[in-house]
Amino acid sequence: MSKLDRFWPVSLATMLRARDRSGHGVRLVSHGRTVADPVTLADLSASGSASAYLEYPARLADKAAQMRIFLRGVGVPESKIDAWPTDLSKFVRQSAQIYFYDAGTGCKYAGRDTSHYRALQYWFFYGLNYYPMTVDTATMLEEPLRADDADVDFHEGDWEHITVLLEPHGSGYVPKFVWMARHSNEGRLYPWDGVEHESTTHPVIYPAFGGHPSYPGCGAHARALLAAAVYDYVVCRPGLYILKAKDTPLVDLAHVGWSCWPGYFGTTVGTTGSGDADDPTGQILVAGPRSPLRQAENQHVCPKAHS
């Protein structure tokens, strides 16, 4: 992913270490009151309230402040935060993490009958989603910080994922397709041979700048539902953070205690339609997402949540 994107995929525990300059961290809020400050992974149980949410110590639409609390949680020194953009490759290598979930068979993608394939999902947790609203494609791909002067669709705790679909073959499996999820319902199914691979066994994925939907390569990609006006930009210059399979920890969502937590992984205050001071238009802020096992093709996995 672009070195100029302010966020990269980390563990939930890492994101819970986010803090502002005064040391205030991430709180757990439920029914309008703080129930954990700071919040820990143990506070996020499957029996929690569906109205609970994580409150980060930065205004949702303040991209710079969100970046600062994230980088502090990752362990970046204040001097390097002040000097950004600068090379943070060392901190990326130390903190990057990917989650996975073996969903078995029964998942359907892109309106096709893919239910007989075994679905291996790979989930990426970013600190913030911000969508660059620009039509200056050339500048965005070469100098994204200059082109990205207006953003929408802000939400914290950005969960994104891809799925590798495996076909039974003899006593094992062979990969047949890669599903790349995008913007809730704009995902696309690619033949295995139609994507780049690392060491023949791992698909190479490029997240677009800011919003982090997954693509098979660099450049400007017309959005499936908004192709006439809006694009996703996979920015590959001036450089990329490369998260190689052998160096990036992989954690099974089936074996973490918070995988069925029913709350939101980001604030729900000041979100779409509120028209408050944080979002005067009532259009740019979105509630944080649910757990990976409570969204997309996994909505049947966890027990029903209570309010």
Using alpha carbons only, how large is the chain's radius of gyration in Å? Answer: 19
How many whole angstroms separate alpha carbon 132 and alpha carbon 208?
10
* pLDDT of 41 higher than 90: yes
Question: Where residue 275 falls among pLDDT bands split at 50, 70, 90?
Answer: very low
Asked if residue 160 is part of any domain, the answer here is yes
CA pair distance 141, 190, nearest whole angstrom: 24
Mean pLDDT of the chain: 92
Tell me the C-alpha distance between 237 and 198, whole Å.
20
pLDDT tens digit sequence for 64-107: 999 999 999 999 999 999 999 999 999 999 999 999 999 999 99
Number of domains in the chain: 1
Domain containing 150: what range?
Answer: 12-298
How confident is the model at residue 255, as a pLDDT?
97
**Could you tell me if residue 218 is inside a domain?**
yes
pLDDT at 281 over 60: no
Please confirm whether the linkage preceding 175 is cis (ω < 30° from 0). Answer: no
Question: Residue 238: is the preceding peptide bond cis (ω within 30°)?
Answer: yes
d(CA 7, CA 1): 9
pLDDT attached to residue 271: 64
Tell me whether residue 2 is in a domain. Answer: no
pLDDT of residue 273: 46
**Residue pair 29/37 in contact by the 8 Å Cβ criterion:** no
Per-residue pLDDT of 176-227, as tens digits, reads 999 999 998 899 999 999 999 998 889 999 999 999 999 999 999 998 877 6
> How do 151-169 and 197-198 pair as beta strands?
unpaired
Note whether residue 86 is domain-resident: yes
pLDDT at 282: 47
User: Domain for residue 3, yes or no?
Assistant: no
Q: Look at the chain and count its residues.
A: 307
Q: Which residue has the higher pLDDT, 245 or 280?
A: 245
Backbone dihedral angles phi then psi of residue 217, each to the nearest 5 degrees:
-170, 175
Q: Does residue 10 surpass a pLDDT of 80?
A: yes
Q: In this predicted structure, what is the pLDDT of residue 181? A: 95
7: in domain: no
Query: Mind spelling out the 3-state secondary structure of the chain?
Result: CECCCCCCCECHHHHCCCCCCCCCCCEEEECCEEEECCCCHHHCCCCCECCCEEECCCCCCCHHHHHHHHHHHHCCCHHHHHHCCCCCHHHHHHHECEEEEEEECCCCECCECCCCCEEEEEEEEEEEEEEECCCCHHHHHHCHHHHCCCEEEEEEEEEEEEEEEEEEECCEEEEEEEEECCCCCCCEEEEHHHCCEECCCEECCEECCCCCCEECCCEEEECCCCCCCCEEEECCCCCECCCCCCCCCEEEHHHCCCCCCCCECCCCCCCCCCCCCCCCCCCCECCCCCCHHHCHHHCCCCCCCEC
0.85 exceeded by the pTM?
Answer: yes
In a domain, 121, yes or no: yes
305 lies in a domain? Answer: no
Q: Specify the pLDDT at position 225.
A: 79
Regarding predicted confidence, which is higher, 171 or 269?
A: 171
- State how far the Cα of 87 lies from the Cα of 188, in Å rounded to an integer: 32
Percentage of residues in the chain having pLDDT higher than 70: 94
Segment 105-149, tens digit of pLDDT: 999 998 889 999 999 999 999 999 999 988 899 999 999 999 998
AA letter at 116:
H
Q: How far apart are CA 54 and CA 168, in angstroms?
A: 41
| Bridge partners for 162 per DSSP | 122, 180
